[in-house]
Structure 1
Amino acid sequence: MDWIEKMNTVIIYIEEHITDALNIENIAKVADCSTYHFQRMFIYMTGIPLSEYIRRRRMSLAVADLKKGDMKIIDVALKYGYHSPTAFNRAFQSVHGLSPSSAKLDGALIKAYSPISFKMEIKGAESLDFRIETKESFRVIGVSISLYGDFEGMVEPVEKIWEAAENNGTIHQLKKLLRNDQLGLFEVMIPDENVEHWRYLISVPTEEPLMESLEEYVMGAYTWAIFSYAEKTIEETQNLGKRVISEWLPTSEYENDCGPDISVHAEDGAIGNILEYWVPIKNKNEGDRLW
């Protein structure tokens, strides 16, 4: 099943369980990938986080229930998983711009969000430069933080760890370990297959002894699609990253191998100055990896 089919299957699953306690882990399993990769794919392809899409769908359906006239507001709130009238009112207003009681009135202007349907769109106005490389397992050392919840909520803690690492000398310490043949620091996002949890690691590949205050991570052996971002602005690299996930991967002969992904930074740069982006891949038609 390709990515377009998987995403449409997910939408059907959400619709069938819209009044249940939807869990991102279970939704990602429907798409057969990690929660991190699914959330990233969803927001890149739709422009909104998964949580917001679910909220919009629930509040669109809630309007229909309120208009029937035979359901109390508290009953509608409970139906869609809101045990607090205040929380339901807040969610409802965030979508429709008015309260549930106002929405029941004749002439009230409300919004409707239909289920998303994914279709293939061929763009390709700008090429994506990449190469395929198979690499054996290797070790990186650095500093990390744990990330939880919605993909969009990761931006602030990531910025904070970079700032802290710059201020306390960790970035300088890691750069000293770079070999002449290495481009720069490895920014690694490590998904956990079982929970809504990720480990974000600023690191460098090295066999040097582990230093105090640093930690290590052993990267598994993967086949990587490595995309070149050289000479691109921050805005251009952000756009290319979205294109890799939302355009190239779904239309290629590969699929994500659900391992870590890596952004390689310029040696003299900080966050945003990315030279390469590595995505672990496997062939769609084979259960095994490509090596």
Structure 2
Amino acid sequence: MEWLERMNRAVDYIEANLSGEIELKEAARVACCSSYQFQRMFSFITNVTLAEYIRRRRLTLAALELQGDNLAKVIDVALKYGYESPVSFARAFYALHGITPTMARGEGRELKAYPRLSFLITIKGAEAMNYRLETKGSFEVFGIEGIFHVDGGGKGLETPAKLWEQSLANGDVKRLEACAGNLPPYVSQELHSVHALCSYRNTGPDTFPYMLCAFKENASTTEGYTTVTIPAHTWVIFPSEPHPWDRFGETIETLYKRFYTEWLPTAGYEQVDGLEFEMYGAKEGLNYVELWFAVRKV
């Protein structure tokens, strides 16, 4: 419940600053997590990005002001809600409402309204969610690291998916696999050698680290790779059902969504700094994935 309260306080901050500057790091601070983690949780829970939510809310309020009793000038409304010119405002307004700001002044015009979001516990079906809690000591992983912007911008590779795509195409994943050695005894032996690790160190308020990684063991060859020490943590682990490759995206997205919307709000735990693994494996001739989230008791 405390986790939901923090998320609602973050939305309170955003709502209070829709006509001013919204500092995402401040919203994340209110939610007691990193900027990357906050935006990621928000997207999984609401099915809309934080940036899109802010855009919709601002344009909803802008439309109300253009139709109010004391009609505001279009340029004043545009500047109030963060647009540098009437042209950019009109373009965004039309994309959302289907009419221009000037047309919105007319009586009887149909507009769209997006209300403020609130995070609540909802009663859903009784579908079981398989998970296990495991406490693991410190261990090391090594691999290919990328630093990414939370909004997907910046130079170079824009997303972790692009890092995977490039590394598969140029043979880097195969080379990392050959350098991995045996799997350690504290993980399922049905897992592959190469996995993914996210948010294992602080790289700034608007970026996050992501690594294609393997477990470091005695037989591993780590030269030329980034090595990371993972501290001792309690991990909540969510295994998927075996699935064909064409259902991988749907499967992993469902696991993430159920963690954030069903398990985390009621379990009495919180995620530790967004630290998580995506573990890939094969079972029954099909693919499967385990999501590991570092957690602690609230």
- TM-score normalised to structure 2 length: 0.85
Deviations 1:24-70 (A, max 9, x none): 21111111112222112211221111111111111111112212354
Conservation of the 8 A alpha-carbon contact between 2:196 and 2:277: yes
Per the alignment, residue 222 of structure 1 pairs with: 233
Give unmatched runs, 5+ long, in structure 2.
Answer: none
Judge which range, 156-165 or 251-260, deviates more: 156-165
Are 1:136 and 2:124 an aligned pair?
Answer: no
Q: Distance in 2 between matches of 1:171 and 1:120?
A: 41
Q: Give yes or no for the alignment of 1:282 onto 2:296.
A: yes
Cα deviation for residue 259 of structure 1 reads 4.1
Question: 2:30 is matched with which residue?
Answer: 30
Would you say 1:203 and 2:213 are equivalent positions? yes
Q: Distance in 1 between matches of 2:43 and 2:274?
A: 19
5+ residue gaps, structure 1, are 285-291
> How far, CA to CA, are the matches of 1:87 and 1:200 in structure 2?
34
Query: Does 1:247 find its partner at 2:244?
Result: no
SS at match of 1:129: coil
What RMSD, in angstroms, separates the aligned Cα atoms of the two structures? 2.5
Q: Match of 1:119, as an amino acid?
A: L
Identity rate of aligned residues, in percent? 37
Check whether the contact 1:44–1:242 (CA below 8 A) recurs between aligned residues: yes
1:113 alignment partner AA: Y
TM-aligned CA distance change 1:220 to 1:82, over 3 Å: same
Deviates more, 1:115-124 or 1:54-63: 115-124
Deviation at 1:230, TM superposition (A): 4.2
Cα contact 2:280–2:290 (8 A) shared by 1: yes
8 Å CA contact 1:134–1:222 kept in 2: the answer is: yes
Q: Report the Cα distance in structure 2 between the residues aligned to 1:102 and 1:45, rounded to whole angstroms.
A: 34
In structure 2, distance between residues paired with 1:30 and 1:87: 31
Number of equivalent positions: 279
User: Structure 1 residues 25, 12: closer, same or farther in 2, change over 3 A?
Assistant: same
Cα separation, 2, equivalents of 1:4 and 1:26:
17
The equivalences for 1:91-102 within 5 A come to: 91-102=92-103
Change beyond 3 A, Cα 1:223–1:193:
farther
CA contact (8 A) 2:75 2:86 kept: yes
Deviates further, 47-56 or 225-234: 225-234
Shift of 1:256: 0.9
Name whichever of 82-91 and 100-109 sits farther off: 82-91
| 1:224 Cα deviation from its structure 2 partner | 0.7
1:168 to 2:182 alignment: no
Residues 279, 151 of structure 1: alpha-carbon distance in 2 compared, 3 angstrom cutoff: farther
Tell me the TM-score normalised to structure 1 length. 0.87
Cα-to-partner distance string for 1:218-276 (whole Å, 9 max, x where unaligned): 222221101112414422332122101221111111111114210001279xxx95421
Change (3 A) 1:117 1:50: same
Q: 1:103 Cα shift? A: 0.8
1:110 Cα deviation after fit: 0.7
Relative to structure 1, is the Cα distance of residues 16 and 75 closer, same or farther in structure 2, using a 3 angstrom cutoff? same
1:68-124 per-residue CA deviation (whole Å, 9 max, x = no partner) reads 354211111111111122221222122211111111122211111111122211325
Structure 1 residue 210, shift from structure 2 partner: 2.4
**Conserved? CA contact 1:49–1:150, under 8 Å:** no
Question: CA separation of 1:194/1:147 partners in 2, compared to 1, >3 Å: closer, same or farther?
Answer: closer
Distance between the aligned counterparts of 1:86 and 1:107, measured in 2? Answer: 24
Counterpart amino acid of residue 92 in structure 1: F
Using the TM superposition, give the Cα deviation of residue 146 of structure 1 relative to its aligned residue in structure 2, in angstroms: 1.7
Give secondary structure in 2 for the equivalent of 1:204: strand
Q: Is 1:158 aligned to residue 160 of structure 2?
A: yes
Deviation at 1:169, TM superposition (A): 1.8
| Residue aligning to 2:112 | 111
Distance 1:196 1:236 in 2: 28
Alpha-carbon distance in 1 for matches of 2:203, 2:165? 28
SS at match of 1:257: strand
In structure 1, give the amino acid aligned to 2:270: E
Helix, strand or coil for the counterpart of 1:100?
A: coil
**Residue type of the alignment partner of 1:282:** R
Q: Structure 1 residues 28 and 149, CA, compared in 2 at 3 Å: closer, same or farther?
A: same
